[in-house]
Chain A
Amino acid sequence: MSPRIKTIRKVINPPIVKGFKPYGPDSGKFIKEPVNLLYEEYEALRLCDYDTYNHLQASQIMCVSRPTFTRIYSSARIKIALAFVEGRQIVIEGGKIYFDSDWYACSKCNCFFNNPEKDKEIKACPLCGSNKIQMYDYEFTDITEPEINDNDLCVCPRCANKQMHEHGKPCKDQYCIKCNTRMVRKRNNQ
Protein backbone atom coordinates (compact mmCIF):
# COMPACT_ATOMS: atom_id res chain seq x y z
CA MET A 1 0.00 0.00 0.00
CA SER A 2 1.41 3.35 -0.90
CA PRO A 3 1.65 5.77 2.00
CA ARG A 4 -0.72 8.68 2.22
CA ILE A 5 1.01 11.99 2.11
CA LYS A 6 -0.37 14.18 4.85
CA THR A 7 -1.19 17.82 4.47
CA ILE A 8 1.92 19.79 5.10
CA ARG A 9 1.80 22.86 7.24
CA LYS A 10 4.74 24.99 6.37
CA VAL A 11 5.39 24.36 2.73
CA ILE A 12 7.03 27.11 0.87
CA ASN A 13 5.08 27.29 -2.37
CA PRO A 14 7.68 27.65 -5.07
CA PRO A 15 6.91 30.41 -7.55
CA ILE A 16 5.47 29.28 -10.89
CA VAL A 17 8.05 31.28 -12.83
CA LYS A 18 11.76 31.82 -12.37
CA GLY A 19 11.53 35.56 -12.74
CA PHE A 20 10.33 38.54 -14.77
CA LYS A 21 11.75 40.50 -17.66
CA PRO A 22 11.04 44.13 -18.50
CA TYR A 23 9.80 44.87 -22.01
CA GLY A 24 9.22 47.89 -24.22
CA PRO A 25 11.30 49.70 -26.84
CA ASP A 26 13.81 51.03 -24.33
CA SER A 27 14.01 47.99 -22.09
CA GLY A 28 17.20 46.82 -23.80
CA LYS A 29 18.98 50.03 -22.77
CA PHE A 30 18.70 49.16 -19.15
CA ILE A 31 20.76 46.05 -19.04
CA LYS A 32 21.83 45.95 -15.46
CA GLU A 33 22.30 43.28 -12.86
CA PRO A 34 19.03 41.45 -12.35
CA VAL A 35 17.41 41.85 -8.95
CA ASN A 36 17.59 38.62 -6.97
CA LEU A 37 14.36 38.05 -5.09
CA LEU A 38 14.92 35.31 -2.52
CA TYR A 39 12.36 32.55 -2.00
CA GLU A 40 11.44 33.75 1.45
CA GLU A 41 10.91 37.26 0.09
CA TYR A 42 8.64 35.92 -2.61
CA GLU A 43 6.80 33.87 0.01
CA ALA A 44 6.40 36.86 2.35
CA LEU A 45 4.96 38.96 -0.45
CA ARG A 46 2.64 36.16 -1.51
CA LEU A 47 1.30 35.62 1.99
CA CYS A 48 0.75 39.33 2.69
CA ASP A 49 -0.32 40.83 -0.59
CA TYR A 50 -1.77 37.88 -2.46
CA ASP A 51 -3.27 35.75 0.30
CA THR A 52 -3.85 38.91 2.42
CA TYR A 53 -2.66 37.52 5.73
CA ASN A 54 -1.52 40.10 8.24
CA HIS A 55 2.13 40.18 9.29
CA LEU A 56 1.54 38.20 12.44
CA GLN A 57 -0.33 35.40 10.66
CA ALA A 58 2.19 35.34 7.84
CA SER A 59 5.12 35.18 10.26
CA GLN A 60 3.47 32.20 11.96
CA ILE A 61 2.93 30.44 8.64
CA MET A 62 6.58 30.94 7.73
CA CYS A 63 7.72 30.06 11.25
CA VAL A 64 9.81 33.13 11.71
CA SER A 65 9.56 35.82 14.35
CA ARG A 66 7.44 38.84 13.62
CA PRO A 67 10.47 41.22 13.29
CA THR A 68 12.18 38.74 10.97
CA PHE A 69 9.06 38.55 8.86
CA THR A 70 8.82 42.33 8.64
CA ARG A 71 12.45 42.49 7.54
CA ILE A 72 11.94 39.86 4.84
CA TYR A 73 8.76 41.50 3.62
CA SER A 74 10.23 44.98 3.39
CA SER A 75 13.26 43.63 1.58
CA ALA A 76 10.90 42.02 -0.97
CA ARG A 77 9.14 45.32 -1.60
CA ILE A 78 12.38 47.27 -1.92
CA LYS A 79 13.69 44.82 -4.50
CA ILE A 80 10.51 44.85 -6.56
CA ALA A 81 10.44 48.65 -6.52
CA LEU A 82 14.07 48.67 -7.62
CA ALA A 83 13.30 46.38 -10.55
CA PHE A 84 10.27 48.43 -11.63
CA VAL A 85 11.95 51.80 -11.40
CA GLU A 86 15.28 50.85 -12.91
CA GLY A 87 13.85 48.45 -15.52
CA ARG A 88 15.76 45.47 -14.19
CA GLN A 89 14.96 41.80 -14.47
CA ILE A 90 13.80 39.92 -11.41
CA VAL A 91 15.27 36.51 -10.76
CA ILE A 92 13.54 34.47 -8.08
CA GLU A 93 16.01 32.08 -6.53
CA GLY A 94 18.03 31.16 -3.48
CA GLY A 95 17.59 32.25 0.04
CA LYS A 96 17.14 30.63 3.34
CA ILE A 97 14.05 28.56 3.62
CA TYR A 98 12.61 27.79 7.01
CA PHE A 99 11.56 24.23 7.48
CA ASP A 100 9.80 22.08 9.97
CA SER A 101 12.52 19.92 11.38
CA ASP A 102 15.83 20.73 13.02
CA TRP A 103 19.06 19.95 11.22
CA TYR A 104 22.35 18.63 12.53
CA ALA A 105 25.85 18.19 11.20
CA CYS A 106 28.17 15.29 12.05
CA SER A 107 31.82 16.26 12.23
CA LYS A 108 33.00 12.65 11.97
CA CYS A 109 31.46 11.57 8.66
CA ASN A 110 30.60 15.09 7.42
CA CYS A 111 26.96 14.38 6.82
CA PHE A 112 23.92 16.55 7.56
CA PHE A 113 20.67 15.13 8.83
CA ASN A 114 17.33 16.22 10.15
CA ASN A 115 15.33 15.09 13.13
CA PRO A 116 12.00 13.87 11.75
CA GLU A 117 10.59 13.12 15.21
CA LYS A 118 10.51 16.34 17.16
CA ASP A 119 9.73 14.70 20.48
CA LYS A 120 12.73 12.39 20.32
CA GLU A 121 16.12 13.78 21.09
CA ILE A 122 18.94 13.01 18.66
CA LYS A 123 22.09 11.84 20.40
CA ALA A 124 24.13 10.24 17.63
CA CYS A 125 24.74 10.51 13.92
CA PRO A 126 22.24 8.26 12.07
CA LEU A 127 24.96 7.39 9.55
CA CYS A 128 28.16 6.68 11.48
CA GLY A 129 26.87 6.57 15.05
CA SER A 130 29.26 9.26 16.28
CA ASN A 131 28.13 11.64 19.01
CA LYS A 132 30.12 14.49 17.49
CA ILE A 133 27.01 16.17 16.22
CA GLN A 134 25.70 19.68 16.53
CA MET A 135 22.66 21.66 15.46
CA TYR A 136 23.15 23.19 12.09
CA ASP A 137 21.37 25.84 10.08
CA TYR A 138 21.12 23.88 6.90
CA GLU A 139 20.53 25.94 3.79
CA PHE A 140 18.87 24.07 1.01
CA THR A 141 20.21 24.36 -2.44
CA ASP A 142 17.35 24.90 -4.76
CA ILE A 143 16.73 21.83 -6.85
CA THR A 144 13.02 22.43 -7.22
CA GLU A 145 11.17 20.24 -9.69
CA PRO A 146 10.67 20.36 -12.64
CA GLU A 147 14.03 21.93 -13.17
CA ILE A 148 16.26 20.16 -15.64
CA ASN A 149 19.90 20.43 -14.91
CA ASP A 150 22.16 21.16 -17.84
CA ASN A 151 24.06 18.03 -16.92
CA ASP A 152 20.98 16.02 -17.80
CA LEU A 153 20.92 17.20 -21.39
CA CYS A 154 22.89 16.47 -24.48
CA VAL A 155 22.79 18.71 -27.49
CA CYS A 156 22.94 18.15 -31.22
CA PRO A 157 25.96 19.93 -32.75
CA ARG A 158 24.14 20.21 -36.08
CA CYS A 159 20.62 21.39 -35.28
CA ALA A 160 21.01 22.39 -31.62
CA ASN A 161 18.18 20.10 -30.54
CA LYS A 162 18.45 19.20 -26.88
CA GLN A 163 17.34 15.93 -25.40
CA MET A 164 17.53 14.11 -22.10
CA HIS A 165 20.84 12.40 -21.60
CA GLU A 166 20.60 8.65 -21.01
CA HIS A 167 22.49 7.67 -17.90
CA GLY A 168 25.47 5.42 -18.38
CA LYS A 169 25.58 5.96 -22.13
CA PRO A 170 28.10 8.36 -23.67
CA CYS A 171 26.56 11.32 -25.49
CA LYS A 172 28.29 10.32 -28.73
CA ASP A 173 26.34 7.04 -28.67
CA GLN A 174 23.07 8.92 -28.63
CA TYR A 175 21.54 10.25 -31.81
CA CYS A 176 19.54 13.39 -32.40
CA ILE A 177 15.87 12.49 -32.85
CA LYS A 178 15.53 15.25 -35.43
CA CYS A 179 18.54 14.87 -37.71
CA ASN A 180 20.20 11.66 -36.52
CA THR A 181 23.54 13.35 -35.75
CA ARG A 182 25.66 12.09 -32.86
CA MET A 183 24.95 14.15 -29.75
CA VAL A 184 27.49 16.02 -27.61
CA ARG A 185 27.43 17.10 -23.97
CA LYS A 186 25.52 20.29 -23.29
CA ARG A 187 27.72 23.10 -22.05
CA ASN A 188 26.32 25.77 -19.79
CA ASN A 189 26.53 28.56 -22.34
CA GLN A 190 24.88 26.67 -25.19
Chain B
Amino acid sequence: MKVAITSTGNTLKSTIDQRFGRCAYFVIYDTETKSIEFIPNPNKDAEEGAGPASVQLVAAKNVNKIISGEFGMKIKSLLDSLKIQMIILKEKEKTITDIINLLDHEK
Protein backbone atom coordinates (compact mmCIF):
# COMPACT_ATOMS: atom_id res chain seq x y z
CA MET B 1 0.00 0.00 0.00
CA LYS B 2 1.23 3.46 -0.87
CA VAL B 3 1.02 6.47 1.40
CA ALA B 4 1.71 10.10 0.49
CA ILE B 5 3.18 12.37 3.17
CA THR B 6 3.56 16.11 2.70
CA SER B 7 7.09 17.17 3.56
CA THR B 8 8.93 20.45 4.08
CA GLY B 9 12.12 19.05 2.51
CA ASN B 10 13.61 16.16 0.59
CA THR B 11 15.27 14.21 3.39
CA LEU B 12 14.01 11.76 5.98
CA LYS B 13 14.81 14.36 8.62
CA SER B 14 12.46 16.90 7.04
CA THR B 15 9.30 17.60 9.00
CA ILE B 16 5.72 17.15 7.88
CA ASP B 17 4.46 20.08 5.80
CA GLN B 18 1.22 21.35 7.32
CA ARG B 19 -0.08 22.44 3.94
CA PHE B 20 -1.37 19.94 1.44
CA GLY B 21 -1.73 21.72 -1.92
CA ARG B 22 1.35 23.87 -1.49
CA CYS B 23 3.64 21.57 0.41
CA ALA B 24 7.31 21.60 -0.64
CA TYR B 25 7.61 17.85 -1.34
CA PHE B 26 5.46 14.76 -1.47
CA VAL B 27 6.95 11.62 -0.01
CA ILE B 28 5.51 8.44 -1.53
CA TYR B 29 6.10 5.56 0.85
CA ASP B 30 5.33 1.97 -0.12
CA THR B 31 4.56 0.03 3.06
CA GLU B 32 5.27 -3.32 1.37
CA THR B 33 8.51 -2.68 -0.51
CA LYS B 34 9.59 0.09 1.94
CA SER B 35 10.56 2.24 -1.02
CA ILE B 36 10.59 5.98 -0.44
CA GLU B 37 10.27 8.54 -3.22
CA PHE B 38 10.54 12.32 -2.84
CA ILE B 39 8.62 14.34 -5.41
CA PRO B 40 9.08 18.14 -5.51
CA ASN B 41 5.61 19.69 -5.60
CA PRO B 42 5.27 21.60 -8.89
CA ASN B 43 2.20 23.34 -7.44
CA LYS B 44 3.85 24.83 -4.39
CA ASP B 45 3.86 28.36 -5.76
CA ALA B 46 0.70 28.12 -7.82
CA GLU B 47 -1.65 30.99 -7.15
CA GLU B 48 -4.69 28.92 -7.98
CA GLY B 49 -5.65 25.31 -8.13
CA ALA B 50 -2.68 24.00 -6.15
CA GLY B 51 -4.96 21.70 -4.17
CA PRO B 52 -6.72 19.90 -7.03
CA ALA B 53 -3.46 19.67 -9.03
CA SER B 54 -1.74 18.10 -6.02
CA VAL B 55 -4.61 15.64 -5.64
CA GLN B 56 -4.11 14.59 -9.27
CA LEU B 57 -0.38 14.21 -8.70
CA VAL B 58 -0.68 11.89 -5.70
CA ALA B 59 -3.70 10.04 -7.11
CA ALA B 60 -1.65 9.21 -10.21
CA LYS B 61 0.82 7.50 -7.85
CA ASN B 62 -2.01 5.24 -6.68
CA VAL B 63 -1.75 6.16 -3.03
CA ASN B 64 -4.42 4.93 -0.62
CA LYS B 65 -3.68 7.41 2.15
CA ILE B 66 -2.39 10.96 2.46
CA ILE B 67 -0.85 12.34 5.61
CA SER B 68 -0.78 16.14 5.97
CA GLY B 69 -1.52 18.90 8.45
CA GLU B 70 -4.76 20.07 6.88
CA PHE B 71 -6.97 19.59 3.86
CA GLY B 72 -9.23 22.25 2.39
CA MET B 73 -12.90 21.76 1.77
CA LYS B 74 -12.59 21.17 -1.96
CA ILE B 75 -9.73 18.76 -1.43
CA LYS B 76 -11.75 16.85 1.10
CA SER B 77 -14.53 16.29 -1.45
CA LEU B 78 -12.10 15.30 -4.21
CA LEU B 79 -10.30 12.80 -2.01
CA ASP B 80 -13.61 11.43 -0.75
CA SER B 81 -14.71 10.77 -4.30
CA LEU B 82 -11.39 9.08 -5.09
CA LYS B 83 -11.65 7.03 -1.87
CA ILE B 84 -8.24 8.17 -0.71
CA GLN B 85 -8.01 8.27 3.06
CA MET B 86 -6.98 11.52 4.74
CA ILE B 87 -4.87 11.49 7.87
CA ILE B 88 -4.43 14.83 9.60
CA LEU B 89 -1.40 15.19 11.81
CA LYS B 90 -0.99 18.58 13.43
CA GLU B 91 2.32 17.82 15.11
CA LYS B 92 4.59 20.08 13.12
CA GLU B 93 7.82 18.70 14.55
CA LYS B 94 7.19 15.14 13.34
CA THR B 95 9.78 14.06 10.79
CA ILE B 96 9.27 11.79 7.80
CA THR B 97 11.21 9.09 9.68
CA ASP B 98 8.85 9.44 12.68
CA ILE B 99 5.85 9.04 10.42
CA ILE B 100 7.28 6.06 8.53
CA ASN B 101 8.02 4.41 11.90
CA LEU B 102 4.42 4.98 12.95
CA LEU B 103 3.18 3.43 9.71
CA ASP B 104 5.47 0.41 10.03
CA HIS B 105 4.29 -0.10 13.57
CA GLU B 106 0.96 -1.10 12.11
CA LYS B 107 2.32 -4.36 10.80
A residues adjacent to B (C-beta < 8 A)? 1-3, 5-8, 10-12, 14, 39, 97, 99-101, 109-117, 124, 126-129, 138, 140-146, 148-149, 152, 164, 166-168
Contact = CB atoms under 8 A, between A and B. Distances in A.
B59 A127 contact: no
B72 A145 contact: yes
Given A113-B85, A128-B106, A152-B22, A100 B72 contact: no
Contacts of B21: 143, 145
A127 B103 CA distance: 5
Contacts, number: 120
Interface in B64-107: 65, 67, 70-74, 76-91, 99, 102-103, 105-107
Contacts of B67: 111, 127
B61 to A, nearest CB: 10
Given A99-B80, A127-B102, A164-B45, A145 B89 contact: no
Interface of B: 9, 19-22, 24, 44-45, 47-52, 55-56, 59-60, 65, 67, 70-74, 76-91, 99, 102-103, 105-107
A144 B72 contact: yes
